[in-house]
């Protein structure tokens, strides 16, 4: 057993990138297993900030190999931009960034379709990042997709033309959308040439051989469990399994190889895009969380919706993922709140429950809150867990009780070293 997983327990943006970057030092391999450039994982090293969309967050640790797994959907344009940023920052990565032959390619017409289908939904739109994620996974399951390994086959150009033709036919069903296909295609083919500098591998064999050699693997989740295609707030979800099950299918790892499942949760809750959010705050407190937490989408720049921590929601995702430990991020954002609220149950259909109803969209869910005293102290300069104010430790202990799961670390700032192990 040598595979640990880091994944988001809420609606994404829990701070996974920061935690993967920090813990990567303990592993030999860091692998992304699902999602694509809809992800935006922020890493702050000293005063330099990086946002990764496709490249695993272990890339800043020199001795670590990073794999983009078969479950990922990959846009060559985004990836080549990320490569450029690493090049400019003098980070050597070419011999330690490997791509699965089986990862599916996001084509320009996938993004075109994403834009057209979202626009046609009007008010009921999902709030997609418009990175082509849905259409690419549709082509994968519809058995039409193109994969990284196809780039090396002699008939790639013909395969590309066939699928593009299909997409253009589909696009005729939708109203006109502004999209410069020619320009995007030029960028796409230029970016493919950049990608050829990297190694395309049969990653399922590679990862399993690394495990067989007794080495340590970290699987990096994207999005959050509440955006999972099966268990999230459907249809306001993404198109992949963001839960721990996605590691098996997205990397070719058997379940009995999985050891720790490290769930990342913010000390409060955010969501970007549309869909249900029971503890959302539409008031000054929500605005304060957004401002202090700098809650702006790392991929789209959209403001994130904010609210209090939601225990029924977390109990659900702890159950689905088999979480063995939790890391709470952004504790410092709560430094100036006199009172901190946590929803410990929901009230709907005339009774109290901790079960998320099937019809979470249509139901009038009233969260039932518990209040905690704020600590009113600056946490970001502390260097050990025991130095936390009593009230902050009481908050963490209460959460452990409510969630029935160990909290192993608390994050107190965006920088790499702002992490207190318990």
Kindly list the catalytic residues. Answer: 13, 41
* Interaction between residue 272 and ligand IMO (CB under 6 A): yes
* Residues near 69 by beta carbon (within 8 Å), at least 6 away in sequence: 31, 32, 33, 34, 100, 103, 203, 207, 250, 251, 252
* Interaction between residue 128 and ligand IMO (CB under 6 A): yes
* Interaction between residue 17 and ligand GDP (CB under 6 A): yes
When CB distances are held under 5 to 8 angstroms depending on the partner's kind, the choice from Mg ion, ligand GDP, ligand IMO, none that residue 411 binds is: ligand GDP
CA distance 69 to 119: 31
CA distance 117 to 196: 32
When CB distances are held under 5 to 8 angstroms depending on the partner's kind, the choice from ligand GDP, ligand IMO, Mg ion, none that residue 330 binds is: ligand GDP
Site string for ligand IMO, 277-306 (x = CB under 6 A): ---------------------x--------
* Interaction between residue 226 and Mg ion (CB under 5 A): no
In the complex with ligand GDP, the residue whose CB is nearer, 112 or 268, is 268
CA distance 160 to 169: 14
* Interaction between residue 221 and ligand GDP (CB under 6 A): no
* Interaction between residue 222 and ligand IMO (CB under 6 A): yes
* Interaction between residue 41 and ligand GDP (CB under 6 A): yes
Site string for Mg ion, 290-309 (x = CB under 5 A): --------x-----------
Q: How far is the CB of 195 from ligand IMO (least distance, A)?
A: 21
| Region 17-46 residues binding ligand IMO, contact defined as CB under 6 A | 38-41
Please tell me whether the peptide bond between 235 and the residue prior to it is cis, using omega within 30 degrees of 0. Answer: yes
When CB distances are held under 5 to 8 angstroms depending on the partner's kind, the choice from ligand IMO, ligand GDP, Mg ion, none that residue 412 binds is: ligand GDP
When CB distances are held under 5 to 8 angstroms depending on the partner's kind, the choice from Mg ion, ligand IMO, ligand GDP, none that residue 115 binds is: none
Q: Which of 327, 322, 328 is nearest to 261 (CA)?
A: 322
In the complex with ligand GDP, the residue whose CB is nearer, 56 or 252, is 56
Give the residue, chosen from 44, 164, 166, 257, that forms a contact with ligand GDP under the rule CB under 6 A.
44
Q: How far is the CB of 281 from ligand IMO (least distance, A)?
A: 18
| Region 283-322 residues binding ligand GDP, contact defined as CB under 6 A | 294, 298
* Interaction between residue 133 and ligand IMO (CB under 6 A): yes
User: Based on C-alpha coordinates, what's the Rg of the chain?
Assistant: 21
Q: Which of 204, 74, 222 is nearest to 137 (CA)?
A: 74
In the complex with Mg ion, the residue whose CB is nearer, 73 or 382, is 73
Give the residue, chosen from 126, 195, 345, 368, that forms a contact with ligand IMO under the rule CB under 6 A.
126
* Residues near 87 by beta carbon (within 8 Å), at least 6 away in sequence: none
> Is 36 within 8 Å of 72 (Cβ atoms)?
yes
| Region 199-218 residues binding ligand GDP, contact defined as CB under 6 A | none
Q: Which of 269, 315, 273 is nearest to 293 (CA)?
A: 269
Q: Which residue is nearest to ligand GDP, using beta carbons?
A: 42
Beta carbons within 10 angstroms of residue 203's beta carbon: 26
* Interaction between residue 238 and ligand IMO (CB under 6 A): yes
Structure tokens at 52: 């990764």
Q: How far is the CB of 191 from ligand GDP (least distance, A)?
A: 23
Write out the residues near ligand GDP by the rule CB under 6 A: 8, 12-18, 40-42, 44, 294, 298, 329-330, 332-333, 411-414, 418
Residues forming the site for ligand IMO (CB under 6 A)? 8, 11-13, 38-41, 126-129, 131, 133-134, 222-224, 227, 238, 272-273, 298
Residues that bind Mg ion (CB under 5 A): 13, 40, 298
């Amino acid at each position: 057993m040598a595979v640990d997983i880091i994944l988001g327990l809420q609606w994404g943006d829990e701070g996974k990138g920061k935690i993967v970057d920090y813990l990567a030092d303990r592993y030999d391999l860091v692998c992304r297993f699902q999602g694509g450039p809809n992800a935006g994982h922020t890493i702050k090293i000293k005063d330099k900030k990086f946002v990764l969309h496709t490249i695993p967050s272990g890339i800043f640790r020199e001795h670590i190999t990073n794999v983009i797994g078969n479950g990922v959907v990959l846009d060559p344009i985004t990836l080549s931009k990320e490569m450029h940023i690493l090049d400019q920052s003098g980070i050597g990565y070419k011999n330690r960034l490997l791509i699965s032959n089986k990862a599916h390619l996001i084509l320009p017409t996938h993004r075109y379709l994403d834009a057209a289908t979202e626009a046609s939904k009007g008010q009921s739109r999902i709030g997609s990042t418009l990175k082509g994620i849905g259409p690419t996974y549709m082509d994968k399951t519809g058995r039409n997709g193109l994969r990284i390994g196809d780039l090396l086959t002699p008939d790639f150009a013909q395969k590309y033309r066939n699928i593009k033709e299909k997409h253009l036919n589909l696009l005729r069903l939708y109203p006109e959308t502004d999209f410069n296909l020619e320009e995007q295609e030029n960028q796409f083919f230029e970016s493919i040439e950049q990608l050829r500098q990297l190694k395309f591998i049969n990653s399922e064999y590679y990862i399993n051989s690394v495990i067989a050699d007794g080495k340590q693997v970290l699987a990096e989740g994207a999005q959050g469990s509440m955006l999972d295609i099966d268990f999230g707030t459907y249809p306001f979800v993404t198109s992949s399994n963001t839960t721990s099950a996605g590691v098996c299918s997205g990397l070719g790892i058997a379940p009995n190889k999985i050891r720790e499942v490290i769930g990342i949760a913010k000390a409060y809750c955010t969501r970007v895009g549309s869909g249900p959010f029971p503890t959302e705050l539409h008031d000054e407190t929500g605005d304060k969380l957004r401002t202090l937490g700098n809650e702006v989408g790392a991929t789209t720049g959209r403001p994130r919706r904010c609210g209090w921590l939601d225990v029924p929601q977390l109990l659900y995702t702890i159950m689905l993922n088999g979480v063995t430990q939790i890391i709470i991020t952004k504790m410092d954002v709560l430094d100036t709140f006199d009172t901190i609220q946590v929803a410990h149950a929901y009230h709907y259909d005339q009774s109290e429950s901790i079960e998320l109803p099937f019809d979470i969209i249509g139901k009038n869910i009233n969260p039932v809150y518990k209040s905690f005293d704020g600590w009113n102290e600056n946490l970001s300069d502390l260097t050990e867990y025991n130095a936390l104010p009593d009230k902050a430790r009481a908050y963490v202990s209460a959460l452990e009780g409510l969630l029935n799961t160990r909290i192993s670390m608390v994050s107190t700032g965006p920088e790499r070293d702002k992490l207190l192990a318990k």
